[in-house]
């Protein structure tokens, strides 16, 4: 046996073991990077979005996506997109667009455009990718019914959609740890009661309940209040999953020797729970959180899609998908379904990441 | 067994009471009531509606009494006469027009459960027996997609594909000539021709989950010594599989009805809005938008109660399948 190679495993701290095990899970690793990128997008929305999300343009309603070109027909390098020619359909009285390859709209990196304040603090006006002439159209993912840029709206929506998952999970986490902890640590009647509550919450269909609750939000609330109300509504049921994980861990850890030792040492209950037991299952909690976020994202999308969640002018993926609700608008502008792709990618990546973390959370298990 | 069923049924009573309370709280939550939203609607259309009109409506529907009184009256009406209150918008008793939609919702959900099982059962066994084969990877991949893509998004995409390549718009559960027709064999056949797409869309998410559970459970069982014994005594392979390990791995199928049902009912509501199905979904959405609160509350209550009964049935079925549960 090669002792020199084996030794690090025995002296490595727990987080290092977790990392080693997680590293082996390639899919989870890739997903982790994807999630990181998505959150970076959410962080730097103002720089990444070419235009403001509510900037309308009546000349380009439902303009189809353009593609970005690097080399033109003469072989010259340069970033540009082709312009549009539009004509009005005499029958449907609708404007139809065609990409006109004779018109070149030059596009640049870090172009000066609409001024903004990054994180509400740092003023700036440069956008990562934008047309050099701000009046020229650039719709890399097409335009919606008001001529707004779908790409910009998708990027801006990332912030709300991805953060509502985080905030909602944090709320559920507080409830889940508190109630799951009580349930698992004390057992007996308290455990029974909390378990019944969890069973009850899980046995009623959640969407009708959420619909009822969010329909009750007053229409004149400002977007921020609606946002928080929605997260509270979502975590009202979301905490049950986390509480179950926490309870399970408490039940199994309660019998461990080190807990008994701490108790014999006269440590207070708070100290036993927070100082001894909690660190032993932090990794499990992180995995459970990661697995809970996609549910929140999907729920927000569903509620906003039905028009009961967030509303314009707030931009989230669900709000964007509301425009793609009926077959007519999807038929004229299939690119309105692109936000669905963003939802699916982030939910898939979070699921893979969570699975990997869950497997790695217990580095001693084989 | 009888004792178990009785105990389990008794436990259901407090759950039902709490459910009715939750449904009632939802009815009461929106600021204002139907009278205010009715008057506001009239005003928006340019009609002059006075506070007097609002007062008359309130009196007519008993909205001026305290909340507890209205709750008790509501419950009394439901329990004694099956009367769920008045749907304000249609000015008809709720119970006179919702049941057809409730049955269609139920048919949709039950159909999806059957499809879920019919798909997940063989695929789960296949994935476990041929672990790490190409087929296994394929289904695992499909399963992850199924979990990540909510039904209503799948419906949107499928409707687009159908429109683009088949040139037809789907939606609804009946052909136009059967829409208002009374129930007949032809109408049922027509329903079956339309319902399969939403049923399959609804079933995808649950199937994905169940395949994973079935595969994991069966993998655990397959490594146990009794399987080797069965094989050693010369049983044909399919018999070895079906007679012992599959039977044990079946438990999750039954025990998951408990969470599959709420999940399916939830899913069917959004799906119905997207595909314009005449189930409870669009009706609930509309009722919530116009604050037709007795209708909304009745729908939420009925859906929840049916789900709870479904969970009870699955628990009983599970206890019948697995004797260990009865004696806990």
Give the Å distances, CA to CA, from A199 to A317, A348, B8, B15, B239.
31, 27, 13, 9, 37
CB contact under 8 A, B265 and A302: no
| Secondary structure of chain B as H, E, C letters | CHHHHHHHHHHHHHHHHHHHHHHHHHHHCCCCCHHHHHHHHHHHCCCCCCHHHHHHHHHHHCCCCCHHHHHHHHHHHHHHHCCCCEECCCCEEHHHCCHHHHHHHHHHHHHHHHHHHHHHHHHHHHHHHCCCCHHHHHHHHHHHHHHHCCHHHHHHHHHHHHHHHHCCCCCCCCCHHHCCCCCCHHHHHHHHHHHHHHHHHHHHHHHHHHHHHHHHHHHHHHCCHHHHHHHHCCCCHHHHHHHCHHHHHCHHHHHCHHHHHHHHHHHHHHHHHHHCCCCHHHHHHHHHHCCCHHHHHHHHHHHHHHHHHHHHHHHHHHHHHCHHHHCC
Interface check B150 vs A, CB under 8 A: yes
CB count in 10 Å sphere of residue A347:
22
Structure confidence at residue B151 (pLDDT): 81
**Mean pLDDT score of chain A:** 81
Q: Does B72 touch chain A (CB under 8 A)?
A: no
How many CB pairs below 8 Å do chains A and B form together?
124
What mean pLDDT do residues A224-231 have?
A: 82
Instruction: For residue A340, give the nearest of B153, B262, B284 by CB distance.
Output: B153
Helix axes B151-161, B257-275, angle to 10 degrees: 40
pLDDT given at position A300:
87
Residues 6 or more apart in contact with residue B313 via CB below 8 angstroms:
B257
A203 vs B15, B30, B163: nearest CB? B15
d(CA B292, CA A128): 49
Residues 275-304 in A contacting B (C-alpha not used; CB under 8 Å): 294, 298, 301-302
**Which residues in chain A are closer than 8 Å to B274, comparing Cβ atoms?**
325
**Nearest C-alpha in A relative to B30:** A216
Tell which B residues from 276 to 315 touch A, by Cβ distance under 8 Å: 284-285, 288-289, 291, 296-297, 299-300, 303-304, 307-308, 311
Q: Where are the domains of chain A?
A: 57-147, 154-360
Asked whether the beta carbons of B151 and B202 are under 8 A apart, the reply is yes
Q: Do B307 and A325 make contact, defined as CB atoms within 8 angstroms? A: no
Cβ of B169 within 8 Å of Cβ of A327? The answer is yes
Residues 247-266 on B with a CB inside 8 Å of A are: 258-259, 261-263, 265-266
CA distance A95 to chain B (A): 20
CATH code reported for the domain at B102-321: 1.10.3720.10
* Beta strand pairing call for B92-93 and B86-87: antiparallel
Nearest CA in chain B to A302: B270
Domain A154-360 CATH class label: mainly alpha
pLDDT(A365) > 70: no
Q: Is A94 exposed, middle or buried (0-12, 13-18, 19+ CB in 10 A)?
A: exposed
Pick from B121, B54, B122: nearest CA to B88? B54
Angle at A161 between CA A160 and CA A167, to 5 degrees: 75
pLDDT at A37: 93
Q: Which of B30, B148, B304 sits opposite A347 (nearest CB)?
A: B148
CB-based contact A191:A260 (threshold 8 Å): no
pLDDT of residue A1: 44
What CA–CA distance (Å, rounded) separates A240 from A243?
A: 5
pLDDT of residue B179: 67
Q: Which of A38, A204, A332, A350 to mutate to test the interface with B (most CBs of B within 10 A)?
A: A204
Nearest chain A Cα distance for residue B111, angstroms:
17
The answer to whether residue B230 neighbours chain A at the CB level (below 8 Å) is no
Smallest Cβ–Cβ distance between A205 and the set B144, B157, B265 belongs to B265
Spatial separation of the C-alpha atoms in residues B113 and A189, rounded to whole Å: 35
The whole-number average pLDDT for the span A32-41 is 92
Q: Tens digit of pLDDT for each residue in A44-71? A: 888 888 877 877 777 777 778 877 777 7
- Give the model's pLDDT for residue A308: 82
Residue B61 is predicted with a pLDDT of 66
Q: Which two tokens stand for residue A47?
A: 């720089």
**Residues within 8 A of A (CB atoms), B 169-208 only:** 169, 171
CB contact (8 A) between residue B30 and residue A205: no
pLDDT of A6 > 60? The answer is: no
Over the stretch A259-281, which tens digit does the pLDDT of each residue have?
889 889 988 888 888 888 887 77
Distance from CA of B280 to the nearest CA of A (A): 10
Is A308:A300 a contact under the CB 8 Å cutoff? no
Nearest to B256, CA basis, from B191, B207, B299, B188: B207
**Residue B36 host element (H or E):** helix B34-44
Tell the residue number behind the tokens 């020229």, with chain if given: A136
| Minimum Cα–Cα distance from A206: chain B residue | B266
d(CA A197, CA A206): 14
A7-36 pLDDT per residue, tens: 666 777 777 777 888 888 888 889 999 999
Nearest to A207 among B18, B26, B269 (CB): B269
Q: Quick check: B24 contacting A, CB < 8 Å?
A: no
Q: What is the pLDDT of residues A171-214, one digit of tens each?
A: 888 888 888 888 887 878 888 888 888 888 877 788 888 888 88
Residues of A in contact with B273 (CB under 8 A): 306
Task: Give percent of chain A with pLDDT exceeding 70.
Answer: 95
What number of other Cβ atoms are within 10 A of residue A324's Cβ? 24
Q: What percent of chain B has pLDDT over 70?
A: 85
Tokens read off for B277: 């199905």
Question: Which residues in chain B show pLDDT less than 50?
Answer: none
Nearest chain A residue (CA) to B265: A205
pTM of the full structure = 0.82
């Amino acid at each position: 046996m090669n002792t020199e190679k084996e030794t690090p495993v025995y002296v490595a701290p727990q987080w290092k073991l977790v990392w080693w095990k997680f590293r082996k899970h390639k899919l989870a690793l890739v997903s982790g990077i994807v999630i990181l990128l998505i959150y970076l997008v959410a962080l730097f929305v103002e720089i990444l979005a070419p235009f403001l999300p509510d900037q309308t343009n009546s000349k380009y309603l439902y303009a189809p996506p353009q593609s970005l070109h690097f080399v033109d027909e003469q072989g010259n390098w340069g970033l540009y997109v082709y312009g549009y020619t539009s004509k009005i359909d005499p029958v449907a009285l609708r404007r139809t667009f065609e990409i006109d390859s004779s018109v070149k709209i030059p596009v640049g990196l870090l172009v000066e455009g609409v001024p903004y304040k990054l994180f509400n603090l740092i003023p700036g006006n440069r956008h990562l990718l934008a047309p050099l002439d701000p009046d020229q159209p650039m719709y890399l993912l097409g335009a919606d019914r008001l001529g707004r840029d779908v790409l910009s709206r998708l990027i801006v929506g990332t912030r709300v959609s991805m953060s509502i998952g985080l905030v909602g999970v944090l709320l559920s986490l507080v409830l889940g740890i508190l109630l799951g902890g009580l349930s698992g640590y004390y057992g007996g009647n308290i455990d029974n009661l909390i378990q019944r509550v969890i069973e009850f919450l899980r046995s009623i269909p959640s969407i009708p309940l959420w619909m009822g609750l969010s329909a009750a939000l007053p229409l004149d609330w400002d977007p921020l209040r609606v946002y928080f109300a929605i997260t509270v509504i979502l975590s009202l049921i979301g905490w049950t999953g986390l509480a179950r994980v926490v309870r399970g861990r408490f039940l199994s850890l309660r019998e461990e020797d080190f807990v008994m030792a701490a108790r014999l040492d006269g440590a207070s209950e708070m100290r036993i729970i927070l100082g001894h037991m909690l660190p032993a299952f932090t990794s499990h909690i992180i995995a459970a959180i990661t697995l809970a976020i996609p549910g929140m994202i999907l729920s927000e999308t569903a509620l906003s899609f039905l028009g009961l969640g967030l509303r314009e002018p707030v931009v989230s993926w669900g709000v964007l998908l509301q425009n793609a609700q009926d077959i007519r608008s999807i038929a004229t502008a299939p690119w309105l379904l692109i936000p669905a792709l963003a939802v699916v990618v982030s939910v898939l990546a979070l699921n893979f990441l969570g699975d990997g973390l869950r497997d790695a959370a217990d580095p001693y298990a084989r | 067994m009888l004792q178990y069923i009785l105990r389990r049924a008794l436990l259901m009573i407090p759950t039902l009471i709490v459910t009715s309370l939750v449904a009632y709280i939802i009815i009461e939550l929106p600021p204002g009531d139907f009278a205010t939203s009715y008057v506001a609607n009239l005003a928006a259309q340019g009609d002059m509606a006075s506070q007097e009109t609002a007062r008359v409506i309130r009196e007519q529907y008993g909205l001026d009494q305290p909340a507890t009184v209205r709750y008790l009256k509501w419950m009394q009406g439901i329990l004694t006469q099956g009367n769920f209150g008045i749907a304000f918008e249609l000015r008809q008793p709720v119970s006179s027009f919702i049941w057809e939609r409730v049955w269609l919702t139920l048919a949709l959900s039950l159909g999806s459960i059957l499809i879920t099982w019919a798909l997940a059962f063989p695929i789960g066994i296949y994935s476990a027996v041929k672990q790490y084969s190409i087929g296994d990877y394929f289904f695992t991949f499909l399963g992850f997609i199924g979990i990540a893509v909510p039904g209503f998004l799948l419906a949107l995409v499928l409707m687009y594909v159908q429109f683009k390549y088949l040139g037809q718009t789907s939606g609804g559960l009946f052909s136009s000539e059967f829409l208002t027709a009374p129930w007949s064999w032809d109408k049922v056949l027509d329903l079956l021709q339309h319902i399969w797409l939403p049923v399959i869309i609804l079933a995808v998410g649950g199937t994905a989950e169940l395949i994973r559970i079935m595969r994991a459970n069966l993998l655990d069982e397959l490594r146990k010594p009794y399987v080797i014994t069965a094989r050693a005594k010369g049983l044909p392979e399919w018999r070895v599989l079906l007679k012992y390990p599959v039977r044990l791995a079946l438990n999750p199928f039954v025990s998951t009805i408990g969470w599959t049902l709420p999940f399916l009912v939830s899913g069917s509501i959004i799906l119905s809005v997207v595909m314009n199905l005449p189930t409870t979904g669009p009706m609930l959405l509309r009722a919530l938008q116009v604050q037709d609160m007795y209708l909304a509350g009745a729908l939420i209550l009925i859906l929840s109660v049916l789900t709870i009964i479904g969970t009870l049935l699955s628990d009983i079925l599970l206890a019948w399948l697995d004797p260990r549960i009865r004696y806990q």
